[in-house]
Amino acid sequence: MGIKDILLLILVFALGSTGFYFLKIPVHKLPSEKTERKKVREVIVAVIGGAAAVFLALYYGYTLQALTVFIFYAVLMVITLIDNDTMEIPPVLNLIILVIGVVSIFTIGDISIKDRIIGMFCISLPMYLLELAVPGGFGGGDMKLMFAAGFLLGWRALLMAFFIAIILAGIYGVYVLVAKKKTGKDHFALGPYLCFGLAVSIICGDYLLSTYIDYLKRMFTEQ
């Protein structure tokens, strides 16, 4: 990697950091007494944005695919911050993800329309049915997020995204119960975990799912 490449990546990091820093504009503000916490969070978000931009540039090159995924990451970050603060996901953000999914037909394009349509329902519909059976299990924003993201990722990557989210949310749930920070009747935001799963799976969800299925096949075959 030459000096020009390094300078270009520094520029990419700066642009990514700047873009994520200004995500604070649509995000609900924390109470005034937590101003210092807000500033720290803004810095962390900016660094994540810069790191994400560099990673995507190295992974995809300077392409429309990299830009599409970066914009998706930015929306996921806004959802994470708002849902963490308010336990709500604004419908407009899920609509933006759906629009990104439509755009991705032309910028990513390696996912069939059939897989995208299946992806819209393979997680959101079971979540909806489970919510009907056990009210309070999932929020409407979570369902709409998976519905919209399904068109962008396709069903394979979306399954892995949901799997990652449930595992991480389960670990956190056990932690807060053991630490007695919450009771079994309390709720916490699932959106941040869904967003993390989606962020990972849009890059390697298909690969992770295939690897996991191959592992299960070998395990049962050996038995």
pLDDT values of the chain reduced to their tens digit, one per residue, 223 residues: 789 889 999 999 999 999 999 998 877 555 544 677 788 889 999 999 999 999 999 999 999 999 999 999 999 999 999 999 888 999 999 999 999 999 999 999 889 999 999 999 999 999 999 988 888 778 889 999 999 999 999 999 999 999 999 999 999 988 888 876 665 556 788 999 999 999 999 999 999 999 988 888 888 887 6
Residue 199 to residue 2: CA distance in whole angstroms? 29
Task: Give residue 61's region: left, alpha or beta (phi > 0; psi -120 to 50).
Answer: left
**What pLDDT, on the 0 to 100 scale, is given for residue 33?**
47
Give the ranges where the chain is alpha helix by DSSP (H).
Answer: 3-21, 35-60, 64-86, 91-107, 113-122, 124-133, 140-153, 155-178, 191-222
Cβ count near 127 (within 10 Å): 21
**What pLDDT, on the 0 to 100 scale, is given for residue 181?**
65
Collapsing DSSP states into helix, strand and coil, what is residue 112? coil
Q: What is the dihedral of CA 138, 208, 44, 78, to 10 degrees?
A: -40
Residue 199: name the closest of 9, 56, 50 by CA. 56
DSSP character at residue 115: H
Residue 86 near residue 26 (C-beta atoms within 8 A): no
Q: Whole-model pTM? A: 0.91
How far is residue 17 from each of residues 36, 59, 133, 194, measured CA to CA in Å?
19, 18, 43, 23
Q: Tell me which amino acid residue 61 is.
A: G
